[in-house]
Structure 1
């Protein structure tokens, strides 16, 4: 199979996943690595390819954007933008060998966040309340994570915001979508300026992700949420296991 067919198919699936439940990078990043893009550049290219779909979602949610608890959207935007920029810089400073070693653990962390993040936020909300300064510090850290890797960062944001905002979690989707896009925007600009993007593969995936995002939104209106969530979690944990085996099995077998 030609690598561009693999990338196009992965882009459609990643775009659909992001529209349905998140976790699109679990598909886009491995596909780019399989196509021969080095791991760090693959992560940068994946972020760029999935960025337009995130912006389109943020625009669709624009009417629901507002402060989170007592923290203004402007403060959250600044913290996220700065964190995303630093995360992008840190990724570019990371060697491919170090990123390959860390990638299975990043995927595992993101998989657990996808599986349990919202429930954790709901459980903690009744026991803890964060001051605004702590929220901004955590938001900066989430922006940094979003710029560096970003898997399930939107779920993490909602889990954290649940400690300061009593609104229904669905109503937090608008600020979540915007701030995930902001974290990615600063990282995207960093990757482009640093020439870390493999453009032929990225453009193919970008177009496919837009198509997949539209199709995913249509499926999301009809498919049962439990089925979507189960399929997403199954795929993310399978990808995580594959990367653990790929990274650590050779070392174990050669002992």
Structure 2
């Protein structure tokens, strides 16, 4: 099969994964690198290609979005845009090696948190006498750093986001998924604008177009599918994705 067609299929898988539970970057980025693209360029191309897919998924979820704890959707989105801009700016001035080295450990932490998040939340809330452990300010501060990570690298930022919300706000995965997808769209769109301006992503128009088209199709399909998943199944898909992407990322070298 031709390389553009394989990239198209990778885009479908990445867009669907991001809509359902996260981890799409770990399909898109390796596929582009395997096609011969340098890693830094592949990072920019995958982010640009996945941004419209995230917007497509957010559009499907638009009627299901509820506020995250005490924080309004508008405030959370504004912080996501700001943090993503900072993270994407760091790509232009800092070497990727140091942050990339920390990414597997962040993913491992996110996976453990997702697996035990609701239990930890119940134990801590019982000890403190309240179910919501994070104030509105704490949620916004956490979201800013998540968005910085998302703007800089992007891998599994959705998984990390759900991990934080599950412990700090005792939110169920299915309930928080629409807001997660909305914030992912804000993060990816912001960083994509900067990458379009400052990177060489447009020097690979065929692969960029193939991945973008596949990701949009996968984003639509994945969002519609995820809305029909029972909560336990959505959580299972998310945990499975988290475990697989973490293991593969540790073994990638």
**TM-score, normalising length from structure 2?**
0.78
Unpaired segments of 5 or more residues in structure 1?
248-255
Report the more deviating stretch, 184-193 or 65-74: 65-74
CA distance in 2, matches of 1:52, 1:200: 16
- Cα distance in 1 for partners of 2:122, 2:49 equals 32
Deviations 1:20-55 (A, max 9, x none): 332111111111111121112211211111111211
Q: Sort the Cα spacing of 1:63 and 1:205 in 2 relative to 1 into closer, same or farther, 3 A.
A: same
1:136 equivalent among 134, 140, 146: 140
CA RMSD, aligned part only?
Answer: 3.3
Q: Distance in 2 between matches of 1:234 and 1:163?
A: 19
> Is there any run of 5+ residues in structure 2 with no aligned partner, and where?
none
- CA displacement, residues 217-240 of structure 1 (integer Å, 9 cap, x when unaligned): 566578887777667656665555
Corresponding residue for residue 209 of structure 2:
203
By how many angstroms is 1:205 displaced? 0.6
Residue pairs, 1:164-183, within 5 angstroms: 165=169, 168-183=172-187
- The aligned residue for residue 47 of structure 1 is 47
Map of 2:68 onto structure 1? 68
Question: Does the CA contact (< 8 Å) of 2:133 and 2:169 recur in 1?
Answer: no
| Counterpart position of 1:36 | 36
- Number of aligned residues: 247
* TM-score, structure 1 as length reference: 0.77
CA distance in 2, matches of 1:121, 1:36: 44
How much does 1:215 deviate? 4.1
Q: CA deviation at 1:175?
A: 2.0
- The answer for the alignment partner of 1:147 in structure 2 is 151
